[in-house]
Amino acid sequence: MSNKVNWSELHADVLQLILERLNIITYVRARTVCKNWYVVCKRITSVHDKSPWLILFPAGRPKCGSCLLFDYSTFQFTGKRNFYRLYNLGNAFSTHRCIATCGGWLLMLDLRSSLYVLNVFTRERIELPAFESHEGRLRVERGQDTNFIINKSSITTRNAINKTNAVLWVNEKNKGYIVVWSIGFSYMMYTKSGFDFWREIPTREGPENLHGCQDIAYKDNKLYVLSRQNQIRILDFSQELPLALPNNVEHQPFTNERPWRVKMGNRINKILKILKRHSEGTSWDTVESLEGESWIMDLGVTMDLGVTIPADNGTKPNSIYYSKDKYVYWGDVSTQELRMTLDVNVNRNFSYARWFIPSLREL
């Protein structure tokens, strides 16, 4: 009697119980083992990791269509470095820039200053409308080479990357999406599934009363805009057209109190302040401690706006997780100090990193 086991013939119910316990990277690999395993994977509605990972983007080498995923939770708690490479993301992938994430989806800016959405696990790609299709008062034209022109002001790809704020939201079930994109303080626009154009969000006049845009975040059909006057304005995206909420907070949370000056290495070069909206929705309260949560500063949004997650999901409580280009930092809120824990460019193969919580929904 042979003791050889044919794993491809493992009972479907048993196999499903095993697959549901895998981290998402191992699960994605298991989908490709054989036809029977793939069929069982299709029975699993969704897979996601609760802990944040890092996605490491390659330096701008031609015809490099891969990236690395780094299990930061395992590294932080055990010191073990687990890297996983994803292939076939497109020949020009390394020359494009990721400016936002949502689950397994990336919002990418290419060399022509055009945007597209890419799922790194399924390789699905959503082409977004050209900026020239913009509807509204802004006049957007394509210039020479990689430039485009907004209201007669030329914007280069370099400036688009350096001055861009963007948010991406994707419905994993039906692939519906919303993309909000701003450049500089003055220009902000959005598109969503079903649109073949971009539409302006006025930043200097109109009922939104935004007075310019420093940063943006998106959650639960609401866009949070940090204006140039350091006010946080809220736009409701649940309707056909985004509307400014009538109870927008007039309080200026960043000007009334002294912010934290956080040490990064030997220099004080990062100013942080954690705020929580008051239960009455009229002001913002300073948060002195995250207690059982941790703050991911660039998770799904850009710059310094971020989200909190329960600390038992692979992170340490009362902690800040932050990435800036090729450096990754971690710090305790009580000490107000960020320490560099990872340099993704040690071997000069990678140029920058972003936090994301990977997820995959089977069709």
pLDDT tens per residue across span 174-201: 889 999 988 766 778 899 999 999 888 8
Cβ contacts of 329 within 8 Å, gap of 6 or more = 264, 320, 321, 322, 323, 338, 339, 340, 341
**Per-residue pLDDT tens digits for 49-62:** 667 888 988 876 66
Is the C-alpha dihedral spanning 351, 355, 360, 361 positive or negative? negative
Cβ contacts of 294 within 8 Å, gap of 6 or more = 308, 309, 311, 315, 316, 317, 318, 319, 320, 321
Helix (H, G, I), strand (E, B) or coil at 24: helix
- The answer to whether the beta carbons of residues 286 and 297 sit under 8 Å apart is no
How is residue 258 written in tokens? 């002294």
Which one has a higher pLDDT value, 20 or 166? Answer: 166
- The answer to whether the beta carbons of residues 69 and 56 sit under 8 Å apart is yes
**Per-residue pLDDT tens digits for 79-98:** 888 888 888 898 888 888 89
For 137-155, what is the mean pLDDT? 65
Residues in the chain: 363
Cβ contacts of 209 within 8 Å, gap of 6 or more = 233, 244, 248
| Span of 46-55, 173-182, 211-220, 250-259 with lowest mean pLDDT | 250-259
- The answer to whether the beta carbons of residues 246 and 238 sit under 8 Å apart is no
Burial of 81 (0-12, 13-18, 19+ CB in 10 A): exposed
pLDDT confidence bin for 125, thresholds 50/70/90:
very high
Is the C-alpha dihedral spanning 88, 26, 42, 38 positive or negative? positive
How is residue 227 written in tokens? 């204006």
CA distance linking residue 209 with residue 207, whole number of Å: 5
- The answer to whether the beta carbons of residues 171 and 194 sit under 8 Å apart is no
For 95-103, what is the mean pLDDT? 88
pLDDT over threshold 60, residue 269: no
pLDDT confidence bin for 128, thresholds 50/70/90:
very high
Tell me, what's the pLDDT at 303? 36
Cβ contacts of 90 within 8 Å, gap of 6 or more = 65, 96, 118, 125
Helix (H, G, I), strand (E, B) or coil at 213: coil
Q: Which residues pair with 32 in a beta bridge?
A: none
- In a 13 Å sphere around the CA of 277, the CA atoms on its Cβ side amount to 13
Share of the chain above pLDDT 70, in %: 69
For 278-296, the DSSP string reads -TTSS-EEEPS--TTEEEE
Neighbours of 7 (CB within 10 A): 10
Which one has a higher pLDDT value, 62 or 326? Answer: 326
**Long-range contacts for 292-295 (Cβ within 8 Å, ≥24 apart)?**
292/317, 292/318, 293/317, 293/318, 294/318, 294/319, 294/320, 294/321, 295/319, 295/320, 295/321, 295/333
Closest Cα to residue 304, out of 334, 262, 358? 262
Tell me, what's the pLDDT at 338? 77
**Per-residue pLDDT tens digits for 270-296:** 556 677 776 666 667 777 788 778 888
15-26 per-residue burial string, b: 16 or more CB within 10 A, e: under 16: beeebeeebbbe
For 206-227, what is the mean pLDDT? 77
Strand order through the sheet with 125-127: 97-102, 105-109, 115-119, 125-127
CA distance linking residue 76 with residue 316, whole number of Å: 9
Distance of CA 119 to the CA centre of its chain: 12
